[in-house]
């Protein structure tokens, strides 16, 4: 009986912990529109934005993702203070007002910093493999497996389909319709 009770309590606590954390699919569902909009503004593929964020932040579950909205581990110039388990943590990671701001800053880094800006000239929004390998070669990370890990996330969740999302068209002016209605 004690064993059964222990298993039940363990299962309930595991469910409670998993309910507090983002899953890959919930992260995608929550932030794919942000990634698509930023792709259309900057040319950085939505699949890259989302997959790198998922990889670097553990689907938004890392401490800096939760406390600082920093999805990419981007460092800043100032020291930021936050609390983790009632302990004061000082860090050089940037703090963002929102996940959107973190995504936009990542795209800015990819398109404006000399270290990465050549990627936007070299690769289209449809070439996530080129972007992933180029980001790794340009020194974004120290791991030799980083690009393959990011591409595996893209392939697993078909994130490259987001790169094909057309830019929303502005509403067409209704002047023709108005003119037609007044001619009658």
83, 141, 184 from 28: Cα distances, Å: 27, 23, 50
Any domain includes 128: yes
Averaged over 6-23, what is the pLDDT? 52
Averaged over 27-50, what is the pLDDT? 97
Any domain includes 82: no
Into how many domains does the chain fold? 1
With CA atoms as reference, report the closest residue to 135 among 106, 102, 101, 100: 106
Any domain includes 175: no
**Of 8-12, 50-54, 118-122, 168-172, minimum mean pLDDT range:** 8-12
CB 97 within 8 A of CB 69: yes
Return mean pLDDT, the chain: 85
Between 142 and 11, name the one with better pLDDT.
142
With CA atoms as reference, report the closest residue to 95 among 66, 61, 54, 136: 66
Any domain includes 78: no
Residue 21 — very low, low, confident or very high, per pLDDT cuts 50/70/90? confident
Task: Read off the pTM.
Answer: 0.80
Between 9 and 131, name the one with better pLDDT.
131
Q: What pLDDT is stored for residue 168 in this prediction? A: 75
Any domain includes 3: no
% pLDDT > 90, the chain: 71
Q: What pLDDT is stored for residue 14 in this prediction? A: 43
**Of 15-29, 36-50, 106-120, 155-169, minimum mean pLDDT range:** 15-29
Residue-wise pLDDT for 57-71, tens only, equals 999 999 999 999 999
Averaged over 164-182, what is the pLDDT? 57
Any domain includes 135: yes
Asked whether the predicted pLDDT for residue 175 surpasses 50, the reply is no
Residue-wise pLDDT for 114-139, tens only, equals 999 999 999 999 999 999 999 999 99
Q: Please tell me whether residue 72 adopts helix, strand or coil conformation.
A: coil
Q: Please tell me whether residue 62 adopts helix, strand or coil conformation.
A: coil
Residue-wise pLDDT for 77-110, tens only, equals 889 898 888 899 899 999 999 999 999 999 999 9
Structure token digits, residue 106: 């990542």
Q: In this structure, what CATH number is given to the domain that contains residue 26?
A: 1.10.530.10
Structure token digits, residue 88: 């004061």
Q: What pLDDT is stored for residue 177 in this prediction? A: 45
Which residues constitute the domain of residue 149? 20-61+97-166
């Amino acid at each position: 009986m004690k064993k059964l009770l222990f298993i039940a309590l363990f299962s309930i606590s595991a469910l409670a912990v998993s309910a507090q954390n983002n899953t890959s699919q919930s992260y995608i569902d929550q932030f794919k529109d942000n990634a698509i909009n930023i792709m259309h503004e900057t040319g950085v593929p939505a699949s890259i934005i989302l997959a790198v964020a998922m990889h670097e932040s553990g689907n938004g579950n890392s401490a800096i993702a939760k406390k600082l909205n920093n999805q990419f581990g981007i460092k800043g110039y100032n020291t930021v203070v936050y609390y983790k388990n009632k302990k004061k943590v000082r860090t050089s990671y940037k703090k963002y007002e929102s996940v959107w701001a973190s995504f936009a800053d990542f795209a800015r880094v990819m398109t404006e910093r000399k270290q990465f800006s050549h990627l936007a000239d070299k690769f289209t929004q449809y070439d996530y493999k080129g972007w992933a390998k180029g980001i790794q070669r340009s020194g974004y990370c120290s791991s030799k497996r980083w690009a393959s890990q990011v591409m595996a996330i893209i392939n697993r969740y078909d994130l490259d389909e987001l790169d094909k999302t057309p830019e929303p068209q502005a509403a067409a002016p209704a002047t023709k319709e108005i003119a037609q209605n007044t001619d009658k």
